[in-house]
Structure 1
């Protein structure tokens, strides 16, 4: 059993941790899951909706059913995606019981590499926003396009690390201070740090021990920054 509580960053497989969490205990799930990665999980799928997901040959979506269970009624999920797997995530979210509300576009300002001669230059990522029951945005209605410059290679602590400014916008747009934010694929801890910096509670799960240590350091730095600012909005 894991010590699952607000403020925890757990080095483990997220499927194992999610299945130990209490139902209806989380306000918001914000995560950037891996695409096309298998999980080492031995628990059999028994529920009908989960059978549909588990029967899919793409096990990187299996966490979605467990995320639905741990979310409170009226909670939501923000799930980063990629154009070629976006529909897979949308279908899985619907099967799990979510209402898919919108797809947020993150304009990275500068394009990435890709096929330099055979494809358009990739400049955006997407983030699927879905709700469990009736979700009310706590701070008005934000635009579904966010422009925020991506990190350059020298700044990256994780291959898929998202900018702190982007994660802060998403956390503040979808939660109130004191809300509990879960990131089951915490990576280097950008979601958790944004939650800590803005007065939200957080739980993170990361399977890689080195990234888990990086996430802990990033969150500690965010908490120190908030303390130095007197706990006020920055």
Structure 2
């Protein structure tokens, strides 16, 4: 089996310096969402639009990409991608049930505004999975007071909030246009890009499950654009199932938005074939690269943070160890 190659550039991805034009077979990346995640400086705005122009330049004609986003600014990111030459093909939804609600008890806010002391009604254990400094909060959870509103107006709005529990992340499926004058088959023959790897990403039938559909395939169903963390028992459709991850899953990986390697493998496999090259301009701790190497793909990544770049190098090197 040939050894696949990887490169991690510890520098700004603007310009994609060191990557040759039309050398990349697929883009899989988890960029800043622009929502100010946990007050991180790097997430205060959407990526520089030039990055998408650079990606288009280094990708082969017909190459696909998957770009993670957030609901609030997905539309802005899609416009940026489209304005820089990409075709919007679909939006995949990574669905999970352990999202962190971003809200507050408005009843307690009303007490505070009215100058009324809210009532302490007990204690609760606070566990922050993405705490700065690593996963220490898992071994040292905090005990915090539990409050209930005291004012009459506060009691009326007790439990009222500002948002519902997030349970999915959108992943934008994009494509660089085919080479002018070529159809799909001609583009694949010339560049090796332009088609999704549907055969290798089929969802197998469960044990004892009868084949479904008018023309069932022995490998199972075509992967859906919904990726769930738990099996959906609806009698027909089954979706690719993958859980979220927390920092304590890896004792040296402190990246705050770590993605499961199993999820990234599914995405990499969907867009590419063996020996092709995957680009991630926001490589973080290297999950896309680990997925690529596990699947006998090559990988090129950019990561501005020296700490995360070192983690990525360590993880990628471990994949290639005998």
TM-score (norm 1): 0.80
1:34 and 2:32 are equivalent in the alignment = yes
User: Quick check: 1:193–1:218 contact (8 Å CA) kept in 2?
Assistant: yes
1:119 and 2:117 are equivalent in the alignment = no
Distance 1:58 1:187 in 2: 16
Q: CA deviation at 1:158?
A: 0.8
Runs of 4+ aligned structure 1 residues displaced above 3 Å come to 57-61
User: Quick check: 2:101–2:164 contact (8 Å CA) kept in 1?
Assistant: no
Q: Any unmatched runs of 5+ in structure 2? A: 36-44, 105-160, 179-193, 200-221, 229-241
Structure 1 residues 106, 58: CA separation in 2 closer, same or farther (over 3 Å shift)? closer
Q: Any unmatched runs of 5+ in structure 1? A: 38-56, 228-234
Structure 1 residues 59, 105: CA separation in 2 closer, same or farther (over 3 Å shift)? closer
1:11: which partner in 2? 10
Q: How does 1:178-189 map to 2 (within 5 A)?
A: 178-189=275-286
The worse-fitting range, judged by mean Cα deviation, of 181-190 and 149-158 is: 149-158
1:97 and 2:85 are equivalent in the alignment = yes
Q: CA deviation at 1:77?
A: 1.2
Q: 1:102-133: per-residue Cα shift (whole Å, max 9, x none)? A: 00000123222311532110111011010012
Higher Cα radius of gyration: 2
User: Quick check: 2:294–2:319 contact (8 Å CA) kept in 1?
Assistant: yes
User: Quick check: 1:137–1:173 contact (8 Å CA) kept in 2?
Assistant: yes
User: Quick check: 1:27–1:179 contact (8 Å CA) kept in 2?
Assistant: yes
2:74: which partner in 1? 86
1:150 and 2:233 are equivalent in the alignment = no
User: Quick check: 2:274–2:297 contact (8 Å CA) kept in 1?
Assistant: yes
User: Quick check: 2:247–2:255 contact (8 Å CA) kept in 1?
Assistant: no
Q: CA deviation at 1:62?
A: 2.8
User: Quick check: 2:247–2:258 contact (8 Å CA) kept in 1?
Assistant: no
Distance 1:133 1:78 in 2: 15
Q: 1:147-199: per-residue Cα shift (whole Å, max 9, x none)? A: 22111242363111101110011011111010100111100000000001110
What's the C-alpha RMSD, in Å, of the aligned pairs?
2.1
Q: CA deviation at 1:22?
A: 1.6
Q: How does 1:1-234 map to 2 (within 5 A)?
A: 6-16=5-15, 18-36=16-34, 60-116=48-104, 117-134=161-178, 135-140=194-199, 141-147=222-228, 148-155=242-249, 157-224=254-321, 227=322
Distance 1:101 1:60 in 2: 22
Structure 1 residues 120, 208: CA separation in 2 closer, same or farther (over 3 Å shift)? same
Distance 1:190 1:85 in 2: 23
Distance 2:95 2:72 in 1: 17
Q: CA deviation at 1:36?
A: 3.6
Identify, as 1 or 2, the structure richer in helix. 1
User: Quick check: 1:26–1:181 contact (8 Å CA) kept in 2?
Assistant: yes
Q: CA deviation at 1:61?
A: 3.2
Distance 1:168 1:34 in 2: 21
Q: CA deviation at 1:218?
A: 1.1
Q: CA deviation at 1:222?
A: 2.2
Indicate the SS of the match to 1:8.
Answer: strand
Q: CA deviation at 1:59?
A: 5.0
